[in-house]
Amino acid sequence: MTGSRSSDDPCIFCDALTSDEAAPLLVHRGTTCFVILNLYPYNSGHLLIVPMRHIPSLAAATPDELTELMQLTRRAEVALTEVYQPQGMNIGINLGRPAGAGIVDHVHIHVVPRWNGDTNFMSVVGDVRVLPEELGETAKRLRPVFERLTP
């Protein structure tokens, strides 16, 4: 159910729904949206809530997509709290490159668990990220919680 885009213009989110390589990152598939791990996370548990349809903004979303985006964002908050016990969370949408969007033409919501003092100096001085958990382990921990939280 991907949206309108030209086949020669690849989209990592659209491709994630059919790619064997992305399958291990997929945490939950809903009716109009899905939850996937960020391949380059800021912290362990960094999730992305993504409409299945290729749309650039919330303004282009249907009421059903908007509803499921928010429901899955709430579920992500609950699941991350249960699994990681973060002291806070960043939840946000970056629309447009000047706003920090890495993927400009397929809207998505970031859900990032945060802890006091978690600012990682390695990203700044070494242009590298250090995570205490591999992505496969993160997915393994979160999938059953999403399954349990899904009505």
What residue numbers bound the domain in which 91 lies? 12-145
Label each residue of the chain as H, E or C.
CCCCCCCCCCCHHHHHCCCCCCHHHEEEECCCEEEEECCCCCCCCCEEEEECCCCCCHHHCCHHHHHHHHHHHHHHHHHHHHHHCCCEEEEECCCCHHHCCCCCCCCCEEEEEECCCCCCHHHHHCCCCCCCCCHHHHHHHHHHHHHHHCC
Residue 3 lies in a domain: no
Annotated catalytic residue within 46, 54, 108, 110: 108
- 46 catalytic residue (yes or no): no
Domain count, the chain: 1
Phi and psi at residue 66, to the nearest 5°: -60, -45
According to the model, what pLDDT value does residue 117 have? 80
Q: What is the pTM of this model?
A: 0.86
According to the model, what pLDDT value does residue 73 have? 98
According to the model, what pLDDT value does residue 139 have? 95
Residue 1 lies in a domain: no
Spatial distance between the Cα atoms of 138 and 146, rounded to a whole number of angstroms: 12
- Successive 10-residue mean pLDDT values, the chain, 151 residues: 56 92 94 95 93 96 98 98 96 90 92 83 49 88 95 86
According to the model, what pLDDT value does residue 5 have? 54
Residue 2 lies in a domain: no
According to the model, what pLDDT value does residue 126 have? 44
Spatial distance between the Cα atoms of 8 and 138, rounded to a whole number of angstroms: 32
Residue 91 lies in a domain: yes
Q: What is the CATH number of the domain that holds 79?
A: 3.30.428.10
According to the model, what pLDDT value does residue 118 have? 79
Residue 6 lies in a domain: no
According to the model, what pLDDT value does residue 129 have? 54
